[in-house]
Amino acid sequence: MSSGWLCIAGLGPGDEALITPEVSAALASASDVIGYLPYVARVAPRAGLTLHPSDNRVELDRAAHALALTAQGRRVVVVSSGDPGVFAMASAVFEAVEAGPTRWRDLDIRVLPGITAMLAASARAGAPLGHDFCAINLSDNLKPWALIEKRLRLAAEADFAMAFYNPRSKARPEGFARVLAVLRAACGDARPVLFARAVATPEEHLQIVPLGQARADMADMRTMVIVGSSQTRTIARSDGAFLYTPRSAALS
């Protein structure tokens, strides 16, 4: 077995102060950093470190590249934003492990967790995910729309708060409007919705509106959307509002 190792590391939502010391230590001892270009750009260059930025939608190629380098004895960090285990590179790496040569299975592979976007967004607004909730990736690149719609209806019936990743993309601008229509039919117009754009970056912008006033163009590719449960409450204050879900719940 090679002495190489592979860490699949989460850089958090953007602010350096949200990167764990574990991830910083892995980056400091890495020989190679691999990932989507804007995430690799967050790693400072230094002697002895090779940066391998790549384009979006080549996750499996990137994962296989990382595994091949690891098998050669390199010290490799695959970087994701947020947490690598939530709609990010960790699953792609394990897909590549399963599809690849058997010896890849015994490589030293570790996933290093990070602050995922929904928890950073939730923290900025208050605590909308303070009770039972679900996380749904609205990208339909890798799953049919019918499955997304089924999950929306069941999540509403379960009265989960809902966190939505990838609400909107240029490739399917109409998808998120359909999501909002399904949610309005299931949850009514009063339910609070948080649009949290570019959380923990200088471009951060938060907006809380009732579902009846939520419009698809309030989200872009950098926006996390959180829809409250029936119990979620807003607390008005001089500068905006807190949004939170209480710890207790009754059958609705």
From the CB of 46, what's the least distance to a copy of itself, in Å?
19
User: How far is Cα of residue 20 from the mean position of the Cα atoms in its chain?
Assistant: 16
Question: If binding is defined by CB under 8 A, does position 204 make contact with a copy of itself?
Answer: no
Find the binding residues for a copy of itself in span 205-234 (CB under 8 A): 233
Question: If binding is defined by CB under 8 A, does position 48 make contact with a copy of itself?
Answer: no
Q: Which one, of 30, 31, 95, lies nearest residue 62 by Cα?
A: 95
Q: Which one, of 94, 59, 100, lies nearest residue 80 by Cα?
A: 59
Q: Which one, of 204, 201, 130, lies nearest residue 163 by Cα?
A: 130
Question: If binding is defined by CB under 8 A, does position 248 make contact with a copy of itself?
Answer: yes
- E strands in 98-187: 108-112, 126-127, 133-137, 161-165
Nearer to a copy of itself, 69 or 243 (CB): 243
Nearer to a copy of itself, 128 or 175 (CB): 128
Question: If binding is defined by CB under 8 A, does position 177 make contact with a copy of itself?
Answer: no
Rounded to whole angstroms, the Cα distance separating 75 from 186 reads 49
Contacting range for a copy of itself; rule: CB under 8 A; set: 68-76, 109-117, 166-174, 190-198? 109-117
* Contact assessment for residue 175 and residue 140, using Cβ atoms and an 8 Å cutoff: yes
Contacting range for a copy of itself; rule: CB under 8 A; set: 32-40, 88-96, 173-181, 214-222? 88-96
Q: Which of 30, 43, 79, 83 binds a copy of itself (CB under 8 A)?
A: 83
Q: Which of 131, 168, 191, 197 binds a copy of itself (CB under 8 A)?
A: 131
Please name every residue paired with 21 in a beta bridge, in sequence order, or none if there are none: none
Nearer to a copy of itself, 150 or 205 (CB): 150
Q: Which one, of 186, 234, 231, lies nearest residue 210 by Cα?
A: 234
Question: If binding is defined by CB under 8 A, does position 129 make contact with a copy of itself?
Answer: yes
From the CB of 128, what's the least distance to a copy of itself, in Å?
8
Rounded to whole angstroms, the Cα distance separating 197 from 83 reads 17
Question: If binding is defined by CB under 8 A, does position 151 make contact with a copy of itself?
Answer: yes
Question: If binding is defined by CB under 8 A, does position 84 make contact with a copy of itself?
Answer: yes
Rounded to whole angstroms, the Cα distance separating 127 from 129 reads 5
Nearer to a copy of itself, 101 or 212 (CB): 101
Rg (CA), the chain: 20
